[in-house]
C-alpha cells in the first residue's frame, strides 16, 4: 500500500503542475514530510490527503514539490533551504514532527514565506513565537491532551500514570493533560523518541498504584506500547489522544485496542457533507480508511486552494487575509482561526470499535467545545 501511495502521489503531483494553462504555476508549494522510516505512515497520510484535494480541485495553478525529511531535523532544514532558495516556493507545508517544525518554520516565515502546518503545533509557535505567516490547520499540540484530561475527570479517574516521548510535542502533551486533569499523578515519564521497548515503563506502571494510564506515543511507538501493554496483563484503563489510536495504528494493534477511549478533533463519522465525501473519495482513491492525518492534509490543501482563488500569493497582505478567512468546506464542519492562526474547534471523545474486519473509532461525546489554546493570549498577531 505504501508503494502504491507513493506512485499515486507522484502521479497526482505531476497532474497538479502539468495542467497549467500558461505552463507556469501561479503558486508553488514545498511539502516536506516523513515518507520513510518509523513515522512514514503519518506523512504518507498527510501527503495523500493533500494531493487528493489538489486532484479534486483540478487546474488550480498550484504546483506541489514533495520531499522526504526522513524524520531528521538536519535533513528538513536542508530541504527547506533548497525549496526556498532554489525551488522558489511560495508556501511550505507537510511537517509531522514538532522538533522538525521548530527547525524549519521560524526561518521559513522570517524569509517572507507562508507556512501551513497540517500537523505539528508546538507551543513555542502559538504564543509569543507566533507569526502572521504561520497557520496551523490541525491543532495546537496541547489540545487533544487537554481533552483527554477533561475526559479523565468525567470518568472518575483520580490517580493517573502519564508518559510521552521526550521532544516538544511530548512535553506539550503532558502539560496539556495536566492542565485539565484534576486528580493526582502516580508517575510521569518521558521516553526516548522512536523507542520500541517499554518493559521498564510498564513495570513502573504496574507498581505505581495508578487507576488509569494516559500516554502519547504516535506512530510505531504507540503500536509497540499498546501491544506490550496488552501482553502485560495490567488491567488499568488507558486514555490517550487520537495519535495513539488512529487508523493505521489500530490495524497493527488489533483487538488489544478495543474499547479504549481517545480524543480527536476529527473522526470519519462527523456528520457533514464535506466529511462524508472526503471519507468516501479517500477510501476509493487509496483503498484504506482515512486517518486524522489524512483529514488534516486534505483540509490544509483546501484552505490553500481557497486562498489562492481569492488573492495572489505575491500580495502577502491579501493572501494572508484570504488564509485567515478560512473560506473552505472543512471535514470538521465549522472552521475558524484564532488570533494566533490556530483553530478554534471541538475536541471529541472517541471509542475504538470493530466494523467487520476493520478496527476504527466512533464519536461518543465532546470533551471540549469551541476550544482555543491557552498560548493565544501571548500572541501579538
Q: pLDDT tens, 73-128?
A: 999 999 999 999 999 999 999 999 999 999 999 999 999 999 999 999 999 999 99
Whether the per-residue pLDDT at 229 is higher than 60: the answer is: yes
Whether the per-residue pLDDT at 20 is higher than 60: the answer is: no
- Residue 25: which pLDDT band, with cuts at 50, 70 and 90? low
Q: pTM here? A: 0.90
Which run of H or E residues covers position 320?
helix 316-325
CB 281 within 8 A of CB 275: no
Mean pLDDT of 320-326: 98
In angstroms, the CA 187 to CA 205 distance is 8
* Sheet containing 114-117, strands listed edge to edge, beginning at the edge strand earlier in sequence: 62-68, 27-33, 91-93, 114-117, 134-136
Mean pLDDT of 241-265: 91
The pLDDT score that the predictor gives to residue 93 is 98
* Residue 78 burial (CB count, 10 A): 14
For residue 354, which of 262, 259, 274 has the smallest C-alpha distance?
Answer: 259
Mean pLDDT over each residue of the chain, to the nearest integer? 92
Three-state secondary-structure class, residue 378? helix
The pLDDT score that the predictor gives to residue 234 is 95
For residue 343, which of 365, 323, 360, 357 has the smallest C-alpha distance?
Answer: 323
In angstroms, the CA 80 to CA 179 distance is 34
Question: Would you state the torsion angle of the CA atoms of residues 367, 221, 162, 205, taken in this order, to the nearest 10 degrees?
Answer: 130
Which of the residue ranges 12-21, 186-195, 244-253 would you say has the lowest mean pLDDT? 12-21
The pLDDT score that the predictor gives to residue 14 is 39
All three cell numbers of 249: 495504528
Amino acid at each position: 500500500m505504501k508503494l502504491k501511495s507513493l506512485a499515486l502521489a507522484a502521479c497526482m503531483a505531476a497532474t497538479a503542475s502539468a495542467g497549467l494553462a500558461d505552463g507556469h504555476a501561479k503558486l508553488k508549494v514545498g511539502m516536506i514530510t516523513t515518507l520513510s522510516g518509523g513515522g512514514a505512515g503519518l506523512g504518507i497520510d498527510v501527503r495523500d490527503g493533500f494531493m487528493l484535494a489538489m486532484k479534486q480541485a483540478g487546474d488550480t495553478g498550484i504546483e506541489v514539490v514533495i520531499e522526504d525529511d526522513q524524520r531528521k531535523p538536519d535533513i528538513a532544514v536542508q530541504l527547506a533551504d533548497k525549496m526556498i532558495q532554489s525551488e522558489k516556493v511560495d508556501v511550505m507545508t507537510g511537517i509531522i514532527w514538532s522538533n522538525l517544525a521548530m527547525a524549519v518554520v521560524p526561518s521559513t516565515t522570517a524569509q517572507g514565506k507562508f507556512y501551513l502546518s497540517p500537523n505539528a503545533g508546538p507551543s513555542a509557535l502559538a504564543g509569543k513565537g507566533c507569526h502572521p505567516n504561520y497557520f496551523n490547520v490541525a491543532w495546537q499540540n496541547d489540545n487533544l491532551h487537554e481533552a483527554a484530561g477533561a475526559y479523565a475527570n468525567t470518568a472518575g479517574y483520580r490517580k493517573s500514570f502519564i508518559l510521552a516521548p521526550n521532544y516538544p510535542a511530548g512535553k506539550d502533551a503532558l502539560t496539556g493533560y495536566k492542565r485539565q486533569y484534576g486528580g493526582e499523578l502516580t508517575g510521569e515519564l518521558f521516553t526516548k523518541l522512536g523507542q520500541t521497548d517499554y518493559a521498564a515503563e510498564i513495570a513502573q506502571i504496574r507498581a505505581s498504584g495508578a487507576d488509569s494510564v494516559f500516554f502519547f506515543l504516535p506512530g510505531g511507538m504507540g503500536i509497540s506500547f499498546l501491544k506490550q501493554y496488552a501482553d502485560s496483563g495490567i488491567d488499568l484503563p488507558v486514555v490517550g489522544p487520537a495519535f495513539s489510536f488512529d487508523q493505521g495504528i489500530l490495524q497493527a494493534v488489533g483487538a488489544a485496542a478495543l474499547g479504549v477511549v481517545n480524543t480527536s478533533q476529527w473522526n470519519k463519522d462527523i456528520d457533514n457533507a464535506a466529511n462524508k465525501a472526503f471519507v468516501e473519495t479517500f477510501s476509493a482513491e487509496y483503498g484504506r480508511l482515512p486517518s486524522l492525518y489524512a483529514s488534516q492534509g486534505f483540509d490544509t490543501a483546501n484552505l490553500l486552494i481557497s486562498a489562492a482563488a481569492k488573492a495572489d500569493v505575491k500580495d502577502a497582505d491579501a493572501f494572508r487575509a484570504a488564509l485567515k478567512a478560512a473560506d473552505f468546506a472543512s471535514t470538521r464542519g465549522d472552521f475558524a482561526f484564532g488570533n494566533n492562526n490556530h483553530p478554534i474547534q471541538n475536541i471529541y471523545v472517541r471509542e475504538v470499535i470493530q466494523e467487520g474486519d476493520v478496527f476504527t473509532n466512533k464519536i461518543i461525546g465532546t470533551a471540549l467545545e469551541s476550544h482555543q489554546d491557552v498560548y493565544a493570549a501571548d500572541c501579538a498577531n
